[in-house]
Amino acid sequence: MATILGGITTSHIPAIGAAIAKELEQEPYWQPFFDGYPPVHDWLDEHQPDVAILIYNDHGLNFFLDAVPTFSIGAAEEYHNEDEGWGLRPVPPFPGHPDLSWHLIESVIDDGFDVTMCQDMVVDHGFVVPHLLLWPGNDRPVKIVPVCVNTVLHPLPRPDRCLALGRAIGKAVESFPGDEKVVVLGTGGMSHQLDGERAGFINREFDALCMDAIVDDPEWIANHSILDLVEKAGAQGVEVIQWLMMRGALLGTVTELHRNYHIPISNTGAGLMLLENTR
């Protein structure tokens, strides 16, 4: 069976991609953020995962407001990105793993999650930036299974539902008849609000509570409503539900190996965590 090695959480702010493109990683504004990643690179180099299940939210590149699925899973041979106007240049396509994708789709539907099946997807910074952060450059050492979550158009999926879908994904991976080594990425956030009266809002205290809870008590986050998360983390801080889904997929004993938190990065609380999974 396939094995989930662990989970990684990371922000996916588009300005990060622009900083990478302009080679600004050691500029004073960016250095405390990028300096958090070498321990994660070392872990990935040591364990050499074959597949990354990348949980993210689309920002209007693939799904627009006229049609937004709550949960969708990509089942394509490869995934292309396009220029969104943020300074993140298009990069070579990312290879998919259709066999694992279809297995996940069939398994989670059997478990009661009516996901949208996408045999052709373009992917935006929410997908691309995490890949560039974890595997710098244009190398493609892992195949990708994208899992897209609606965090844009209300009503959004409940946090407890996201945790449950994560657990269904973990169960599906464990029943896949291959020997793939899998890492699960929960992307986005942390606290931030991009518009309205609270534009620029960051809640460092709540972010710290969420990082602690992701390790030992994910139900604490799951017990919040979406409106709770908007109040405490900002309108776009609801992206923490993608971290929660990642955590749900880690069905074994979880050990935190590394974390980093830095503010502000583009008016966002930027968090990074590395969790190892044993089964």
Burial (CB count within 10 angstroms: exposed 0-12, middle 13-18, buried 19+), residue 23: exposed
CA–chain centroid gap for 55, Å, is 4
Indicate if 258 belongs to the active site.
no
Omega before residue 155 within 30° of 0, cis: yes
Omega before residue 190 within 30° of 0, cis: yes
Phi/psi of residue 131, each to 5°? Answer: -65, -45
Indicate if 192 belongs to the active site.
yes
Q: Spot the catalytic one: 12, 59, 103, 125.
A: 125
Q: Spot the catalytic one: 12, 192, 224, 262.
A: 192
* Backbone torsion region of residue 200, taken as left when φ is above 0, otherwise alpha when ψ lies between -120 and 50, otherwise beta: left
Residues with catalytic annotation?
125, 192
